Amino acid sequence: MSLTVVGTMAFDDIETPFGKSDKIVGGSAAYIAWAASNFVQPVNQVSVIGGDFPQDELAALTKRGVSMEGVQVKKDEKSFYWAGRYHLDMNSRDTLVTELNVLANFQPVIPPAYQGSEFLILGNLTPQVQMSVINQMNPRPKLIVMDTMNFWMDVALEDLLKTLKMVDVLMVNDSEARQLTGEYSIVKAARKILTMGPKYLIIKKGEHGALLFHENHVFFAPALPLDEVFDPTGAGDTFAGGFVGHLAKTKDISFENMKTAIIVGSAMASFCVEKFGAQKLREITKEDISARLEQFVQLVNFDIDLV
């Protein structure tokens, strides 16, 4: 059931209308690992950190069944750092500071112990790095999930298109889907992306849920209406961790099971936004997850008499 996660382990400094976090641990690989480790262990982590990364964070993840063998530690350098401020609607934000630090020259190396992983999830990194990881995996994982963003469409489109041909599932948000295809209609954009390589496409729409596309099939999962969205940072990565964690646990990559995985991912993301950073993900129990999933079932369940 092994899962390999590739992404960033970093520091975030977040300001929202509800408060300020100061410097806390974040990064795509950290959020994915916290979410996925509820469903599958080991989670094989591949990332890079500086000597300033807190040891207690590494210990907490290790205790959750996350292997750190693939995490490079550059003791004399600093970890990746991002600072941002969210607007009142919590859907838009301004980047205040980006310091690549150790990430600038990150060349991931897949340890021998990680070979044979059936599931691989590639967090948002340069397409060249994502491609390098896929090429190192032998045998090829049963399912490769990839996240990307509009920045790579601007500066590395050719490499991005090559990488897309190598993956099974692509995750993007609605504006990224439109940029990648030049189509305004999400359905037309999805059809076009499915000709670029991925067999499945997930389009994340934040507080408006997520769409899953495969061949001629479409599935929509709502987001849980919450009283307060405290911090949306990492919600997409947490969604991805819940999604791939469920698939790795069940070893079923059918469209039907991906529907369930999207609901699981949405449930995990709904926890993430309730506190700054990954704080809430560290606190939740299996019982909390079951109760939240039941809320999702009730949200979309209805009885109707056909007229």
Q: Residues 12-48: pLDDT tens digits? A: 999 988 888 889 999 999 999 999 999 999 999 999 9
Regarding the domain delimited by 3-300, which CATH topology (the fold level of the hierarchy) does it fall under? UDP-N-acetylmuramoyl-L-alanine:D-glutamate ligase (3.40.1190)
Rounded mean pLDDT of 204-215?
91
Q: Following CA atoms 39, 221, 124, 87 in sequence, which dihedral angle do they give, to the nearest 10 degrees?
A: -120
Contacts of 294 (CB under 8 A, 6+ apart): none
Q: Which two tokens stand for residue 205?
A: 């729409």
Q: Residue 2 belongs to what H/E stretch?
A: none
Q: Helix, strand, coil % (nearest 5) of the chain?
A: 40, 25, 35
pLDDT digits (tens, 9 = 90+) for 178-203: 999 999 999 999 999 999 999 999 99
Paired tokens of 180? 């990648």
Question: 25 is written with which tokens?
Answer: 């641990």
pLDDT digits 0-9 by tens, 93-127: 888 899 999 999 999 999 999 999 999 999 999 99
- Indicate the pairing of strand 169-173 with strand 143-147: parallel
3-state secondary structure at position 223: coil
Which of these, 222, 226, 218, lies nearest to 265 by C-alpha position? 222
Give the Cα separation of 264 and 244 in Å (integer).
9
Of the candidates 232, 256, 262, the one whose C-alpha atom is nearest the C-alpha of residue 244 is 262
Cα separation, 150 vs 133, whole angstroms: 21
52: left (phi over 0), alpha (psi -120 to 50) or beta: alpha
Kindly give the pairing relationship between strand 217-221 and strand 210-214: antiparallel
pLDDT tens-digit series, residues 145-173 = 999 999 999 999 999 999 999 999 999 99
Half-sphere exposure of 9 (CA within 13 A, CB side): 27
8-state DSSP, 224: P
Contact 97, 78 (CB under 8 A): no
Domain boundaries, the chain: 3-300
Q: How many CA atoms lie within 13 A of 235 on its CB side?
A: 26
Q: Sorting pLDDT into bands at 50, 70 and 90, what band is 1? A: low
| 306: pLDDT strictly greater than 90 | no
Q: Which run of H or E residues covers position 131? A: helix 127-136
Dist CA 131 CA 247 (whole Å): 22
- Structure confidence by residue, pLDDT tens digits, 232-255: 889 999 999 999 999 999 999 999
pTM, whole model, 2 decimals?
0.95
CA distance 30 to 33: 5
Sign of CA dihedral 236, 238, 240, 242: negative
Tokens of 272: 């993430």
Q: Where are the beta strands (DSSP E) in 51-148?
A: 66-74, 81-86, 93-99, 119-122, 143-147
Please write the tens of the pLDDT for every residue from 71-96.
999 999 999 999 999 888 777 888 88
